[in-house]
Structure 1
């Protein structure tokens, strides 16, 4: 095989964007040979290739070696399982599933390890986050004591939430800011710091919008070594903030507005505290600016890596099996808010599934028909630029 023939299921904003990038030749050795969507108008967006009304028809066509799943969230699990059973290589958009139990079902279907199974966590290609992760993993920062991430620049309007009947409902999307906007941030969070051992969250549902799901979240975490973490997000704040702050033995790292600053202790603060004879002393520090060349290749970089993994055996940047961790973080925050209790990891996936189904059963928004407002691809493209 010299090229990978890929089909895309789901031609909404993200699926159409992927299709256009592949058709434009942005990913070498990857060829778009089919698309699938139940909406004929969306199929018409990609007239260059064979269109199908369902993923099943496309998978049975013999036209594809791999599939990119860009459908509403709940379908990620069912289509992903069917694609893996059909012997296809699979790329799934974020989140890989809505809840932990579905993640487990999807991951369990990946029995043939020759099939490449990846997730679209494009932020893992961002050189800024790669630099920060290297600081952590290399041991340069020493033991981490505290992490704070305020990620509230996900502002969304009522028009946005009216752009799809499935949006911002328990039955259609499975959640709000945690399941739609923040999967990338939650993935980066666990990718850099791992999962906590306990978590307590305050989630506000429909605080800023006429929706039933969460649009404002504050979570407090404790890690195995005693370090604490705070994660704050919202779609109701403008202009909003994106600030990651890490306090560790060797100093403090702050990432904000495309700038990484490292205030480095010459001597680790714990050691300094134990050995100094100064009552009000502090370690000497160096002020270091850490450069990063760019935000990386993002979505196209993940698709290139997926292609290289299929053709050359290149290790994946974002294996789909790792996608369960960001889903579990989101689930834990919602479960904590629903039960008004702290949650311990790993969470009880089946309990969460029962709680979610109860929300769907009593949901009014999931049952009433929304007036759908169209968002153009240009609008979507602008929203992707931070």
Structure 2
């Protein structure tokens, strides 16, 4: 106990030292939240970009339902270190709306941290804020390219209090990790109405093929429910670069399979949503949960963040493009040929053409779909190539 309290005292002293503003016009009132500034705006700041300022946080008010097929007890848009044993969406006493996040650290070694990845632009200023309730609650960001002291409060005295911190991203920052947490042995805390205010990113680019004059096509394989050794062996024997779009649940069930079938250089694992829903029927905020949560799952399983999103059923709209961009996705990819389940459909006249994207699925027919697609490519004088290499 004394060790934890000593660490708390040291942390408070350090944060207080960080908290001295460069030029403060007035001290905050006692009821205000602590606000730490992590860098001033400059030529690359929010105001200079010309883009409208929006809230980039995913599920900021904890009001959105978990997608079908999501992990049990997960908080949409958020990764909480203690899982459902610590973090839950509650419907009593929210700051606004009907829900808030309540975290009860399960033991003396937990701060109950919850975090999310937010796509950002280099050299740009962002303001992060959240309403919190509890003792020693912290809000901060890592991966900004600079040290950013968190905003924190010693106590909210039973009410809600806003924490705010501001930071400017470094030249290589394309995503940051936004976090909230409590402190050791300080009891439960609540969070609501989170914001990461900054310029809206340019919407992702929709594509059904890849512009190139190289004599190449691209093999893409969706879903992942049926994984056969025959398909795996064909991919390895023919050294085929494959772009896999698995759902998080089958990918998490058998990550080794997807690592093996994407071992050929140029292969990759990309984003296909959490639940395989028709995203065009969902509002932007729910689309963002579907895409960002699948991105997080693929990153956690395979170590690389997706930059391509394959919309289920090829159903997308303008909100899909913006939601994808908000998740750091650059391309929303459909296809212009389908060789799934015994089909040989090319959705333009004639043979396959350079840059065509071929759709297939991880099914029990894939071991015979792959050679049929390969034969169609050979007939057109084309070779399979790595999609990710052509999108850089």
Which TM-score applies when normalising by structure 2? 0.26
Which TM-score applies when normalising by structure 1? 0.26
Greater share of strand? 2
- Determine which structure has greater relative contact order: mean sequence separation of CA pairs < 8 Å that are 6+ residues apart, divided by chain length: 1
The structure with more radius of gyration: 2
